[in-house]
Amino acid sequence: MQAVYANTDYEPAAVARDAQVRGALAQTGIAFHPAKDQVVFDTDEVLTAAGTPYGVFTPYKNAWLKKLEPFYLQAYPVGRHAGALAPRPAGEAAGVPTLAAIGFEPTNLAALKLAPGTAGGRALLEDFSDERIDRYDQTRDFPAVKGPSYLSVHLRFGTLSIRELARLAWDRARAGSRGAEVWLSELIWRDFYHQVLHHHPQVVERSFKPEYDKIKWEHGKHADALFAAWCEGRTGYPLVDAAMLQINQTGYMHNRLRMVVASFLCKDLGLDWRRGERYFAEKLNDYDLAANNGGWQWASSSGCDAQPYFRIFNPVSQSQKFDAQGKFIRRYLPQLAALPDAALHAPWDAKPLDLVAAGLVLGRDYPEPIVRHELARERTLARYAVVKGAR
């Protein structure tokens, strides 16, 4: 064997592992060649004119699009080099060990109707690229609608190629599809967060904006109880609870809801974003350190190009806007199903007659809200005040 070729992995633990592998191989005179595969542009391929990494998405996206040409999206002809692979070492003749032999346990992917492998990814892609992609700009924010691609898990595990997806989106966008143009932006966010993680690996532990680590989060028994209610979908805010049941039951959560529940954790419950980040890491089938960390730091306002801290999502108006008829809420919270649409978003404000007609007793069939958003909002503004002028 002369050399080992592998795809570059950007997560700090993987970078450390690859450095170890490189060192061990070097001792026996074998070269190690990592190559870009997970992203369209590598971490140093899109930089500012000064040669520094971008910290804000829109200029990054503009530079990314400016640099794009067909070369970067073509398939690499690896097949024709297969004959150059070193023969399998003696003693490994039995072939690749089974997943069970390596210690993997059977999962519930079939029950989740999550078709694995390239065949599974391709079926989803066909379903999306047929025409849904063209309406993506209008449908992507509504969790009850089959709007997004659901391809994240395939991008995460490399069962679909980012280049193929970006090529599809780019071609379609240039042919005039607004939906494809917006979807391409999402793929660019993915590259963006990968380069953030590479250039700022400290974000794994700390806030991208250091002054945000001065914030004093709620802690102790009361905070633990709030966190447990959030995890288990018992906050009393139907959209938040339905979203948490979605992640718990399916290993997926719609992007709009990821933003809503993340904001709720930090800005309504006053809990450290890292608790939510870890919970998502445990539950999401598409868990990706770069995107998850970026999403959480965006929501907590501590991140790269995050929203300003005084912009606080109102969980009730988000619900009224993005699940107006309560279709998504009713799917996960059948005990609320009989409430009129207007009462579904804030059951504590429902008319007593509506509650009776729906057979619903708050505190028995569904929780009272664990915080009042208006009060929590004031507490958050006070909590976050430490970041002002702290740099």
Ligand X SMILES: Cc1cc2nc3c(=O)[nH]c(=O)nc-3n(C[C@H](O)[C@H](O)[C@H](O)COP(=O)(O)OP(=O)(O)OC[C@H]3O[C@@H](n4cnc5c(N)ncnc54)[C@H](O)[C@@H]3O)c2cc1C
Binding site for ligand X (CB under 6 A): 140, 148-152, 155-156, 186-187, 189-190, 193, 255, 258-259, 262, 280, 284, 286-288, 291-292, 294-296, 299
Catalytic residue among 64, 183, 189, 298: 189
User: Residue 153 CB, nearest distance to ligand X (Å)?
Assistant: 7
- Backbone CA torsion sign across 251, 254, 256, 257: negative
Instruction: Choose between 366 and 384: whose C-beta lies nearer to ligand X.
Output: 384
Shortest separation between residue 38's beta carbon and ligand X, angstroms: 10
Q: Which residue out of 230, 273, 277, 298 is catalytically annotated?
A: 273
186 is catalytic: yes
Least distance in angstroms from the C-beta of 299 to ligand X: 5
Nearer Cβ to ligand X, position 132 or 330?
132
Compute the least distance from the CB of residue 167 to ligand X, in Å: 14
| Residue partners of 335: CB distance under 8 A and separation at least 6 | 360, 365, 366
- Tokens 């609608």 belong to 145
- 186, 211, 218, 285: the active-site residue: 186
Nearest approach, Cβ of residue 175 and ligand X (Å): 19
Q: With respect to ligand X, which residue has the nearer C-beta, 155 or 350?
A: 155
Nearer to ligand X, 284 or 376 (CB): 284
> Closest Cα partner for 271 from 230, 315, 239, 211?
230
Distances (CA, A) of 143 to 239, 276, 304, 308, 348: 10, 20, 26, 25, 23
Q: Which of 248, 255, 285, 314 is catalytic?
A: 255
State the DSSP H helix or E strand holding residue 223, giving kind and residue range, or none if neither.
Answer: helix 221-232
User: Is 170 an annotated catalytic residue?
Assistant: no
Residue number closest to ligand X, CB atom: 295
183 classed as catalytic: no
Which residues are within 8 A (CB) of 191 and not within 5 positions of it... i.e. 6 or more apart? Answer: 39, 40, 41, 46, 64
What b/e sequence results for 236-251 when a residue is b if at least 16 CB atoms lie within 10 Å of its CB, and e otherwise?
Answer: bbbbbbbbbbbbeebb
Tokens of 342: 């207007």
Measured distance CA(270)–CA(218) in Å, rounded: 6
Residue 188 beta carbon to ligand X: minimum distance, rounded to whole angstroms: 9
Compare residues 244 and 259 and give the one whose CB is closer to ligand X: 259
Closer residue to ligand X in complex, CB, 173/284: 284
Neighbour tally for 377: CB within 10 Å: 17
Q: How far is the CB of 350 from ligand X (least distance, A)?
A: 29
Q: How many CA atoms lie within 13 A of 163 on its CB side?
A: 15
Q: Residue 380 in contact with residue 270, Cβ under 8 Å?
A: yes
- Tell me which H or E stretch contains 21: helix 12-27
Residues 6+ away with beta carbon under 8 Å from 149: 124, 125, 128, 132, 133, 136, 183
User: Distance between CA atoms of 311 and 377, rounded to whole angstroms?
Assistant: 10
Q: Kindly list the catalytic residues.
A: 186, 189, 217, 255, 273, 296
